[in-house]
Amino acid sequence: MKEMARDSKRERLEELRRKIVEEFLIKGWTDVWFYPRYKGVMGYLGSQDIVFVGLNPSYSCFPTRHDEFFYDELERVGFENAHLTDIIKIRSRCKEIKKYLRDHAIFRKNLEFLLREFDIIQPKIIVAVGSKSGNLLKKNFPEKRRKIYCIPHYSIRKTLNFEKRIQEFKKELNKVKDIYSKLI
């Protein structure tokens, strides 16, 4: 029974992905991207009732060392089947993302797609990856506010505190695992 529900969720996610591609790539001529299945992690097609939400897909080539780190950490804590997605589905550079966030029609359409993902997954917890994602999720989904937990973004730039930031990410991901385990 659980297997059938998971397959049904994946089929619904694949159909939603087709609609997103049609809306933005085909009609709008803008590039879209979804977290792929990689290293045992299901990415966008993950159907576990936990969702990791970033702000937007970048123009980097997958997988970067940051992606490798993120996927390895998800696997380490047992979230291989978590649903991975972004608020804005359009691949964007820093300057472009501001434009998409200000364009009410595009932003609303992206939020509609994200809400449909939430409806399919029925998450017990929504993990905002990065503070911008967290702020946008809390502002635009106030009814889900209690389910939203923020963690640092996994794209940790080399800084003086590089190792400290990696440990902070791991610590926060462990907290998510503990919170989630109490909900199931």
Query: Would you state the structure tokens that stand for residue 40, as one six-digit string?
Result: 């045992």
pLDDT value at position 98? 92
**pLDDT-derived band of residue 103, with 50, 70 and 90 as boundaries?**
very high
CB 93 within 8 A of CB 59: yes
Domain around 122: 2-183
| Mean pLDDT of the 22-49 span | 95
pLDDT value at position 3? 64
The dihedral built from the CA positions of residue 138, 148, 71 and 11, taken in this order, carries a sign that is: negative
- Rounded Cα gap, residues 8 and 159, in angstroms: 43
Task: State yes or no: pLDDT of 158 exceeds 60.
Answer: no
Degrees, nearest 5: CA angle 150-155-156: 95
- Rounded Cα gap, residues 18 and 179, in angstroms: 33
The model carries a pTM of: 0.92
Tell me what the pLDDT averaged over the chain comes to.
92
**pLDDT-derived band of residue 24, with 50, 70 and 90 as boundaries?**
very high
pLDDT value at position 59? 80
The CATH code of the domain that includes 85 is 3.40.470
Considering its fold, how many domains does the chain have in total?
1
**pLDDT-derived band of residue 89, with 50, 70 and 90 as boundaries?**
very high
Task: State yes or no: pLDDT of 12 exceeds 70.
Answer: yes
| Mean pLDDT of the 80-109 span | 94
